[in-house]
Structure 1
Amino acid sequence: MKTKLYYIFLGLAIILFISNCNTPKKISNSEIKEEPVVIKNDSLEYEIIILDIGFNQYLNTIAQPVGYYTQAYLENRNRFLVPIWNSRVSDPTRFNPNIYQNIIDYNANINYGYDVNYKLFNYFQFAQRKYRMTLR
Protein backbone atom coordinates (compact mmCIF):
# COMPACT_ATOMS: atom_id res chain seq x y z
CA MET A 1 0.00 0.00 0.00
CA LYS A 2 2.79 2.46 0.91
CA THR A 3 4.56 1.64 -2.34
CA LYS A 4 1.42 2.38 -4.42
CA LEU A 5 0.94 5.70 -2.63
CA TYR A 6 4.59 6.58 -3.21
CA TYR A 7 4.26 5.93 -6.96
CA ILE A 8 1.03 7.92 -7.14
CA PHE A 9 2.69 10.93 -5.46
CA LEU A 10 5.79 10.49 -7.62
CA GLY A 11 3.61 10.40 -10.74
CA LEU A 12 1.75 13.55 -9.68
CA ALA A 13 5.02 15.32 -8.94
CA ILE A 14 6.38 14.43 -12.38
CA ILE A 15 3.18 15.58 -14.09
CA LEU A 16 3.25 18.88 -12.17
CA PHE A 17 6.93 19.37 -12.98
CA ILE A 18 6.36 18.73 -16.69
CA SER A 19 3.31 20.98 -16.86
CA ASN A 20 5.22 23.78 -15.10
CA CYS A 21 8.05 23.48 -17.59
CA ASN A 22 5.76 23.72 -20.61
CA THR A 23 3.41 26.50 -19.55
CA PRO A 24 4.28 30.15 -18.99
CA LYS A 25 4.02 31.33 -15.40
CA LYS A 26 0.76 33.08 -14.62
CA ILE A 27 0.96 36.14 -12.45
CA SER A 28 -1.51 36.11 -9.60
CA ASN A 29 -3.36 39.21 -8.46
CA SER A 30 -1.27 39.29 -5.29
CA GLU A 31 1.93 39.60 -7.38
CA ILE A 32 0.65 42.64 -9.29
CA LYS A 33 1.46 45.95 -7.61
CA GLU A 34 -1.74 47.97 -7.50
CA GLU A 35 -1.10 51.62 -8.25
CA PRO A 36 -3.59 54.23 -7.10
CA VAL A 37 -5.85 55.62 -9.81
CA VAL A 38 -5.73 59.39 -9.93
CA ILE A 39 -8.74 61.20 -11.34
CA LYS A 40 -7.93 64.81 -11.93
CA ASN A 41 -8.50 67.86 -14.04
CA ASP A 42 -5.48 70.13 -13.75
CA SER A 43 -7.25 73.23 -15.04
CA LEU A 44 -9.90 72.90 -12.31
CA GLU A 45 -7.46 71.77 -9.63
CA TYR A 46 -9.72 68.76 -9.05
CA GLU A 47 -8.33 65.41 -7.96
CA ILE A 48 -9.60 62.10 -6.62
CA ILE A 49 -7.19 59.32 -5.67
CA ILE A 50 -8.66 55.83 -5.61
CA LEU A 51 -6.71 53.25 -3.62
CA ASP A 52 -9.24 50.41 -3.92
CA ILE A 53 -7.43 47.19 -4.85
CA GLY A 54 -8.63 45.84 -8.15
CA PHE A 55 -9.83 49.10 -9.68
CA ASN A 56 -6.89 49.32 -12.10
CA GLN A 57 -7.55 45.80 -13.27
CA TYR A 58 -11.26 46.59 -13.62
CA LEU A 59 -10.50 49.64 -15.77
CA ASN A 60 -8.16 47.64 -17.99
CA THR A 61 -10.23 44.48 -18.39
CA ILE A 62 -13.93 44.87 -17.58
CA ALA A 63 -14.86 48.53 -17.98
CA GLN A 64 -16.05 49.75 -21.34
CA PRO A 65 -13.18 51.45 -23.18
CA VAL A 66 -12.61 55.19 -23.17
CA GLY A 67 -14.94 56.75 -25.71
CA TYR A 68 -17.66 54.14 -25.35
CA TYR A 69 -19.89 56.53 -23.38
CA THR A 70 -20.48 60.16 -24.21
CA GLN A 71 -19.43 62.76 -21.68
CA ALA A 72 -23.09 63.80 -21.31
CA TYR A 73 -24.07 60.24 -20.37
CA LEU A 74 -21.27 59.98 -17.80
CA GLU A 75 -22.15 63.37 -16.30
CA ASN A 76 -25.82 62.38 -15.99
CA ARG A 77 -24.93 59.10 -14.28
CA ASN A 78 -22.48 60.80 -11.92
CA ARG A 79 -25.08 63.48 -11.03
CA PHE A 80 -27.31 60.63 -9.94
CA LEU A 81 -24.68 58.42 -8.22
CA VAL A 82 -22.60 60.98 -6.29
CA PRO A 83 -25.44 62.13 -3.97
CA ILE A 84 -26.30 58.50 -3.18
CA TRP A 85 -22.67 57.79 -2.37
CA ASN A 86 -22.38 60.94 -0.22
CA SER A 87 -25.55 60.14 1.72
CA ARG A 88 -24.09 56.73 2.55
CA VAL A 89 -20.83 58.31 3.69
CA SER A 90 -22.88 60.53 5.99
CA ASP A 91 -24.67 57.57 7.58
CA PRO A 92 -22.01 55.16 8.91
CA THR A 93 -24.49 53.41 11.21
CA ARG A 94 -26.48 52.11 8.23
CA PHE A 95 -23.69 51.78 5.64
CA ASN A 96 -20.24 50.24 5.97
CA PRO A 97 -17.79 53.06 6.78
CA ASN A 98 -14.95 50.94 5.37
CA ILE A 99 -16.55 51.21 1.94
CA TYR A 100 -18.07 54.69 2.12
CA GLN A 101 -15.16 56.65 3.49
CA ASN A 102 -15.07 60.03 1.76
CA ILE A 103 -17.53 62.59 0.50
CA ILE A 104 -17.13 63.26 -3.23
CA ASP A 105 -17.24 66.99 -3.94
CA TYR A 106 -18.87 66.87 -7.38
CA ASN A 107 -20.67 69.91 -8.70
CA ALA A 108 -22.97 69.16 -11.65
CA ASN A 109 -22.48 72.71 -12.94
CA ILE A 110 -18.74 72.25 -13.46
CA ASN A 111 -17.30 70.63 -16.58
CA TYR A 112 -14.74 68.22 -15.14
CA GLY A 113 -13.93 66.74 -18.53
CA TYR A 114 -14.28 63.28 -19.95
CA ASP A 115 -11.50 61.54 -18.00
CA VAL A 116 -12.78 62.58 -14.57
CA ASN A 117 -16.35 61.58 -15.39
CA TYR A 118 -15.26 58.30 -17.02
CA LYS A 119 -13.15 57.15 -14.08
CA LEU A 120 -15.64 58.30 -11.46
CA PHE A 121 -18.50 56.49 -13.22
CA ASN A 122 -16.40 53.35 -13.56
CA TYR A 123 -15.43 53.49 -9.90
CA PHE A 124 -19.11 53.36 -9.00
CA GLN A 125 -19.55 50.38 -11.33
CA PHE A 126 -16.49 48.68 -9.83
CA ALA A 127 -17.62 49.31 -6.23
CA GLN A 128 -21.07 47.88 -6.93
CA ARG A 129 -19.49 44.68 -8.29
CA LYS A 130 -16.79 44.34 -5.66
CA TYR A 131 -18.94 45.07 -2.63
CA ARG A 132 -22.14 43.52 -4.03
CA MET A 133 -24.22 46.61 -3.49
CA THR A 134 -26.47 48.78 -5.57
CA LEU A 135 -26.37 52.54 -5.64
CA ARG A 136 -30.04 53.55 -5.87
Structure 2
Amino acid sequence: MKRVNNIWSVIVVLVLFSACSSSKQVNQTEELNESTPLSISQAEEQAFNATGEGEVRIGDEESEYEIIIIDPGFYTWLKSIARPEGYYDQAFLESRNQLYVLNWNQRALGLYNADPNLYLMQINYEPGIDYGYEVNYKLYNYFIYFQRKYKQRLGPFVPRI
Protein backbone atom coordinates (compact mmCIF):
# COMPACT_ATOMS: atom_id res chain seq x y z
CA MET A 1 0.00 0.00 0.00
CA LYS A 2 2.87 2.32 0.84
CA ARG A 3 4.44 1.57 -2.54
CA VAL A 4 1.20 2.50 -4.38
CA ASN A 5 1.06 5.81 -2.51
CA ASN A 6 4.67 6.54 -3.49
CA ILE A 7 3.89 5.81 -7.15
CA TRP A 8 0.87 8.11 -7.05
CA SER A 9 2.95 10.82 -5.40
CA VAL A 10 5.53 10.60 -8.17
CA ILE A 11 2.83 10.72 -10.85
CA VAL A 12 1.15 13.74 -9.21
CA VAL A 13 4.50 15.54 -8.95
CA LEU A 14 5.30 14.81 -12.61
CA VAL A 15 1.88 16.01 -13.75
CA LEU A 16 2.22 19.20 -11.71
CA PHE A 17 5.76 19.75 -12.95
CA SER A 18 4.80 19.34 -16.59
CA ALA A 19 1.77 21.59 -16.17
CA CYS A 20 3.86 24.31 -14.54
CA SER A 21 6.73 24.10 -16.98
CA SER A 22 4.69 24.20 -20.18
CA SER A 23 5.16 27.41 -22.09
CA LYS A 24 3.99 28.86 -25.33
CA GLN A 25 6.55 28.36 -28.06
CA VAL A 26 6.86 31.15 -30.58
CA ASN A 27 6.90 29.93 -34.14
CA GLN A 28 9.86 31.66 -35.73
CA THR A 29 8.01 31.99 -39.02
CA GLU A 30 5.35 34.16 -37.41
CA GLU A 31 5.47 37.89 -37.43
CA LEU A 32 6.07 39.64 -34.14
CA ASN A 33 2.88 40.88 -32.57
CA GLU A 34 1.68 42.85 -29.58
CA SER A 35 2.22 39.90 -27.24
CA THR A 36 5.92 39.72 -28.16
CA PRO A 37 7.95 41.82 -25.71
CA LEU A 38 9.45 44.33 -28.14
CA SER A 39 9.60 47.97 -27.20
CA ILE A 40 10.43 50.47 -29.89
CA SER A 41 11.58 53.84 -28.58
CA GLN A 42 10.59 57.10 -30.18
CA ALA A 43 14.20 57.63 -31.31
CA GLU A 44 14.21 54.22 -32.96
CA GLU A 45 10.89 54.92 -34.66
CA GLN A 46 12.35 58.16 -36.03
CA ALA A 47 15.40 56.26 -37.31
CA PHE A 48 13.11 53.78 -39.08
CA ASN A 49 11.43 56.69 -40.87
CA ALA A 50 14.62 58.60 -41.70
CA THR A 51 15.14 59.40 -45.36
CA GLY A 52 18.85 60.31 -45.32
CA GLU A 53 21.26 57.72 -46.64
CA GLY A 54 19.34 55.43 -48.96
CA GLU A 55 22.08 52.91 -49.60
CA VAL A 56 24.58 51.29 -47.25
CA ARG A 57 27.47 49.33 -48.66
CA ILE A 58 28.75 46.60 -46.41
CA GLY A 59 32.17 45.45 -47.41
CA ASP A 60 35.61 44.77 -46.15
CA GLU A 61 38.36 46.74 -47.88
CA GLU A 62 40.66 43.71 -47.76
CA SER A 63 38.20 41.27 -49.31
CA GLU A 64 35.96 41.08 -52.33
CA TYR A 65 32.76 40.62 -50.30
CA GLU A 66 30.14 43.30 -50.42
CA ILE A 67 26.48 43.67 -49.49
CA ILE A 68 24.41 46.64 -50.58
CA ILE A 69 21.43 47.51 -48.40
CA ILE A 70 18.86 49.84 -49.89
CA ASP A 71 16.58 50.54 -46.96
CA PRO A 72 16.04 54.16 -45.96
CA GLY A 73 16.59 54.56 -42.27
CA PHE A 74 19.12 51.77 -41.78
CA TYR A 75 22.18 54.06 -41.83
CA THR A 76 20.56 56.41 -39.31
CA TRP A 77 19.52 53.45 -37.15
CA LEU A 78 23.00 51.91 -37.35
CA LYS A 79 24.70 55.15 -36.24
CA SER A 80 22.19 56.16 -33.56
CA ILE A 81 20.51 53.02 -32.15
CA ALA A 82 22.67 49.93 -32.79
CA ARG A 83 25.35 48.76 -30.38
CA PRO A 84 28.75 50.19 -31.33
CA GLU A 85 31.38 48.24 -33.25
CA GLY A 86 33.33 46.03 -30.87
CA TYR A 87 30.33 45.35 -28.62
CA TYR A 88 29.93 41.83 -30.03
CA ASP A 89 32.77 39.50 -30.93
CA GLN A 90 33.04 38.12 -34.45
CA ALA A 91 32.16 34.54 -33.44
CA PHE A 92 28.83 35.74 -31.99
CA LEU A 93 28.04 37.78 -35.10
CA GLU A 94 28.89 34.89 -37.42
CA SER A 95 26.72 32.39 -35.55
CA ARG A 96 23.72 34.74 -35.53
CA ASN A 97 24.23 35.71 -39.16
CA GLN A 98 24.27 32.06 -40.22
CA LEU A 99 20.93 31.49 -38.50
CA TYR A 100 19.37 34.69 -39.83
CA VAL A 101 20.62 34.06 -43.39
CA LEU A 102 19.20 30.54 -43.34
CA ASN A 103 15.76 31.79 -42.29
CA TRP A 104 15.94 34.74 -44.68
CA ASN A 105 16.78 32.51 -47.64
CA GLN A 106 14.01 30.06 -46.82
CA ARG A 107 11.55 32.94 -46.98
CA ALA A 108 13.09 34.35 -50.16
CA LEU A 109 12.62 30.91 -51.76
CA GLY A 110 8.97 30.92 -50.72
CA LEU A 111 9.26 28.03 -48.28
CA TYR A 112 7.23 29.96 -45.72
CA ASN A 113 4.19 32.13 -46.11
CA ALA A 114 6.16 35.37 -45.89
CA ASP A 115 5.66 38.74 -47.53
CA PRO A 116 7.50 38.44 -50.87
CA ASN A 117 8.03 42.21 -50.90
CA LEU A 118 10.29 41.91 -47.85
CA TYR A 119 12.41 38.96 -48.99
CA LEU A 120 13.29 39.88 -52.55
CA MET A 121 16.66 38.18 -52.90
CA GLN A 122 18.65 35.41 -51.27
CA ILE A 123 21.79 36.24 -49.33
CA ASN A 124 24.90 34.29 -50.25
CA TYR A 125 26.65 33.83 -46.88
CA GLU A 126 28.87 30.77 -46.53
CA PRO A 127 29.74 29.59 -42.98
CA GLY A 128 33.33 28.64 -43.84
CA ILE A 129 34.32 32.04 -45.24
CA ASP A 130 35.80 34.77 -43.06
CA TYR A 131 33.97 37.91 -44.16
CA GLY A 132 35.69 40.05 -41.54
CA TYR A 133 34.29 41.90 -38.58
CA GLU A 134 32.78 44.87 -40.41
CA VAL A 135 30.71 42.78 -42.82
CA ASN A 136 29.43 40.55 -40.00
CA TYR A 137 28.72 43.54 -37.74
CA LYS A 138 26.69 45.44 -40.31
CA LEU A 139 24.89 42.37 -41.61
CA TYR A 140 23.91 41.35 -38.08
CA ASN A 141 22.66 44.85 -37.34
CA TYR A 142 20.69 44.92 -40.56
CA PHE A 143 18.92 41.73 -39.48
CA ILE A 144 18.10 43.30 -36.10
CA TYR A 145 16.91 46.50 -37.79
CA PHE A 146 14.84 44.56 -40.32
CA GLN A 147 13.16 42.41 -37.67
CA ARG A 148 12.32 45.37 -35.48
CA LYS A 149 11.14 47.68 -38.27
CA TYR A 150 9.04 45.14 -40.15
CA LYS A 151 8.00 43.12 -37.08
CA GLN A 152 9.48 39.88 -38.41
CA ARG A 153 11.16 36.99 -36.64
CA LEU A 154 14.20 35.37 -38.28
CA GLY A 155 15.10 33.03 -35.46
CA PRO A 156 14.30 31.95 -31.94
CA PHE A 157 15.62 35.19 -30.41
CA VAL A 158 13.57 38.33 -29.84
CA PRO A 159 15.49 41.02 -31.77
CA ARG A 160 16.77 43.28 -29.03
CA ILE A 161 19.26 46.09 -28.97
TM-score tier by shorter-chain length is 0.7 to 0.9
* 8 A contact 2:103–2:154 mirrored in 1: yes
CA gap of 1:121–1:93, structure 2 versus 1, over 3 A, is closer
TM-score by length of 2: 0.62
Alignment-mate amino acid for residue 122 of structure 2: I
Alignment-mate amino acid for residue 38 of structure 1: R
Alignment-mate amino acid for residue 145 of structure 2: F
| Structure with the greater alpha carbon radius of gyration | 1
Structure 2: runs of 5 or more not aligned: 1-45, 156-161
Whole-angstrom distance in 2 between the partners of 1:37 and 1:92: 28
2:58 equivalent to 1:57? no
Counterpart of 1:37 in structure 2 is 56
CA gap of 1:45–1:132, structure 2 versus 1, over 3 A, is same
Whole-angstrom distance in 2 between the partners of 1:46 and 1:58: 23
Which portions of structure 1, spanning 4 or more consecutive aligned residues, are displaced by more than 6 angstroms? 28-31
2:104 equivalent to 1:47? no
The CA deviation string for residues 3-39 of structure 1, in whole angstroms up to 9 with x for no partner, is xxxxxxxxxxxxxxxxxxxxxxxxx877853231101
CA gap of 1:55–1:132, structure 2 versus 1, over 3 A, is same
Per chain length, whose mean CA-contact separation is higher, i.e. which structure has more relative contact order (CA < 8 Å, sep 6+)? 2
Moved more, 88-97 or 115-124: 88-97
Counterpart of 1:102 in structure 2 is 121
TM-score by length of 1: 0.73
Flag the structure with higher helix content. Answer: 1
Structure 1: runs of 5 or more not aligned: 1-27
Identical counterparts, % of pairs: 47
SS at structure 1 position matched to 2:119? coil
CA gap of 1:32–1:99, structure 2 versus 1, over 3 A, is closer
Q: 1:1-136 alignment to 2 at 5 Å?
A: 32-91=51-110, 94-136=113-155
- C-alpha RMSD over aligned residues: 2.0
Whole-angstrom distance in 2 between the partners of 1:109 and 1:67: 22
Whole-angstrom distance in 2 between the partners of 1:43 and 1:92: 35
